[in-house]
A and B are shown apart, each in its own frame.
Chain A
Amino acid sequence: MPAIAFAQPWWLLALPLALLPWWRQGGEKSPCPALSWLEPDRASARLAWLWRLAGSGFLLALVLALAAPYLKEQKIARLGRGAHIVLTIDRSSSMNENFSGRYMGGLAKESKSAAARRLLLDFVNQRKQDLFSVVSFSTAPIHVLSLTQDHQAVKAAIAAIGLRGRGVTNIAPGLAMALEAFRNRPLTGARVILLVSDGGARIDPDTQERLRQGFQDLEVGLYWIYLRNRRSVSVLHPPERNLSETRAPELFLHRYFQTLQVPYQVFEADNPESLARAIATIGALENRPLRYFEIVPRQDISQTAFAIALLFAVPLLLWYALETGRWFRRG
């Protein structure tokens, strides 16, 4: 049972008004001397009692409604299937290009970021029970949203990422920030970082070590959706020669990820269709039982109180419509 509090508790001082119907009864009273010996009419007495009850209830509900009651913020423990997913999304300027490597060109279909956004939105829509967090990064990471069940907020955050990107791809700080989302949280389900980027960057050994430590400590799985354009290197089918960390940082990043000793999978997406496939695969993979707390925000329930008051007001109106006024004409 959620706790109820009042935004305007001073109104509660008017609560004794609810006793008013028991004290007096409005309406014009007709003198009836025979009342001293007439046997009381049971049905009428019951009706009068109901009137008092309705009047009391009406005033009570009205005063309570004016006091603006609300349900306090509450945590509800839920058990679902799914994962805690941190969407770590590249917002570097290269994301503005399409998959053929053109920048907003005439032949361009949709840009990589737009495709990613669309598919991520679908992904979020399909995974109702997952908790999502959003981190975007380019040169520096931006913390967009902590882990939340509020899919509306998540979708809004993803939609906002689709705007124009800028800067370079600097993966390490983004991953570090994504890992921070899990820190100091109980392990209640699968933890996944979904890295969406179109390239890699060199990570220096110190940082590599720190990230590895983070992934292992926090038991976070990693899925990398590599939005590859045709000219860049494939990490799944690397060329035999001419490999260097400056020319093909993605490949070295891939190799580093493979050393993390956590579940890792890379999806190479070189067109929107393969990106969709990659996301579908992830959707199928991470479906482990998930315990989480849903935070229900403070909820205004004065509307309910007003509705109850209205409910009580209807019989009162009926009552007043029935009132006959004076029994005797003035003699």
Chain B
Amino acid sequence: MDEFHYRVPWRSGSAHPGHHKSRAPGGGYEFHGHTSLLDAGDPRHLDIRASLSDPFGEFKVRQFLQTSIIPVMIVADLSASMAIASKPALLGRIAASIAYSAHRTGDPCGFAGIADGGRPELFHSPRRHRALGLTLARQIAAFRFHGGGPAPDIDPVSWLGHRRALVFLLSDFHFPLERLESILERLHPHDVVPVAVWLRAEWTPPRRWGLAHLQDPESGKRQTLLLHPGSGRRLASAFERRRGRIAALCRQYGRPPFFVVDSYQPEALSRYFLETCA
């Protein structure tokens, strides 16, 4: 099982001890300030210098912030477009890796797989679920991908609550950018990590010359594409432009997207968190 390390640049509001910086005072290492011994009595943290310099002669104790848990939520696009080639396996692997890493970090982890509309069809509420990764890999492999992807009016509150969470948004983002914007808007109180699952084959023609009959699995739209030596380059540049647009949009909502192309490397995801939460 692939494990990566994640961190968030914000403080957890949770009182449960965990791995992330928190607003809750408690037994951590992060100095928060001084307080009266009478208010928060932990004589082990008595600060003699602060007590002596207190004009009122009170005993001052140091106060620390504990580290707490953050809820982790995987929101996965289970639409028909994710069914092509090895994408389901890749998706399962990423979801399992996230669930496992969350478990290793000690955070509760949930899963909401949306095939069509706003309601999750594959759902695990965020809780400590030791084997969620294994379950997810199995369930995604068995899932029949269908539908047109998450609707713009998804309602994350009903399955995620109001408390700020780390949300992994797994999709190929092969839907209109307006819809992505709306979804990001809906998810906004949370820390959304867009994970784009792409395959190199999507922009690599199988032959130098040929005719490919393409069909959008979601809308049923058809197109015939003449393949010539230049068409691979054109496709690649089209995907490159698309990538730039998705990145620009996601950046507006807090984080750049993380692109998984063909293979998933957990180290890359760890590095992503290091880079974005410096």
Q: Give the interface of A toward B (CB within 8 A).
A: 25, 27-41, 43-45, 47-48, 51, 319, 322-331
Contact = CB atoms under 8 A, between A and B. Distances in A.
A327 B201 contact: yes
Given A28-B213, A34-B202, A331 B227 contact: no
Nearest to B212: A324
Closest 9 CB pairs of A and B: A33-B81, A331-B85, A331-B86, A324-B210, A32-B214, A33-B174, A328-B85, A35-B216, A48-B224
A53 to B, nearest CB: 13
Contacts of A29: 213-215, 222
B210 A322 contact: yes
B219 interface: yes
B213 A40 contact: no
Contacts of B223: 32, 35, 40-41, 44-45, 48
A323 B202 contact: no
Nearest to B234: A41
Contacts of A37: 174-177, 242
B40 interface: no
A36 B214 contact: no
Contacts of B212: 30, 323-324, 327
B89 A331 contact: yes
A43 B231 CA distance: 11
A30 to B, nearest CB: 6
A28 B224 CA distance: 11
Contact of B224 (A25, A34, A39, A325): A25
A38 B224 CA distance: 12
A36 B218 contact: yes
Contact of B213 (A27, A36, A38): A27
B215 A30 contact: yes
A13 B221 CA distance: 31
Contact of B211 (A34, A323, A331): A323
B87 A31 contact: no
Q: Which of B217, B221, B231 has the most CB of A within 10 A?
A: B217
Contacts of A41: 223, 225-226, 231, 234
Q: Which of B177, B201, B206, B242 has the most CB of A within 10 A?
A: B206
Interface string B182-213: 00000000000000000101110111011111
B238 A31 contact: no
Contact of B218 (A30, A33, A40, A322): A33
Contacts of B86: 331
Contact of A327 (B81, B82, B214, B234): B214
Interface residues of B, number: 46
B151 interface: no
Contacts of B211: 27, 47, 319, 322-324
A329 B206 CA distance: 9
A326 B227 CA distance: 13
A44 B87 CA distance: 27
A31 B83 contact: yes
B215 A36 contact: no
5 contacts: A36-B176, A45-B223, A322-B210, A327-B214, A331-B86
B84 interface: yes
Given A31-B83, A33-B84, A39-B238, A44 B213 contact: no
Given A35-B214, A37-B242, A331-B88, A47 B224 contact: yes
Given A31-B83, A44-B224, 4 more contacts: A37-B176, A41-B226, A331-B85, A331-B86
B239 interface: yes
Q: Which of A32, A33, A44, A327 has the most CB of B within 10 A?
A: A33
A32 B218 CA distance: 9
A317 to B, nearest CB: 13
Nearest to B209: A322
B222 A329 contact: no
Contacts of A51: 224
Contacts of B81: 31, 33
Contacts of B88: 331
A330 B85 contact: yes
A33 B172 contact: yes
A45 B222 CA distance: 10
Q: Which of B89, B201, B223, B234 has the most CB of A within 10 A?
A: B223
A328 to B, nearest CB: 4
B84 A25 contact: no
A77 B199 CA distance: 73
Q: Which of B81, B209, B213, B235 has the most CB of A within 10 A?
A: B213
B206 A327 contact: yes
A96 to B, nearest CB: 76
A328 B129 CA distance: 35
A73 B52 CA distance: 128
Contacts of B227: 324
B226 A47 contact: yes
Contacts of A325: 206
A308 B235 CA distance: 37
Given A39-B238, A327-B201, A331-B85, A44 B225 contact: yes
B221 A331 contact: no
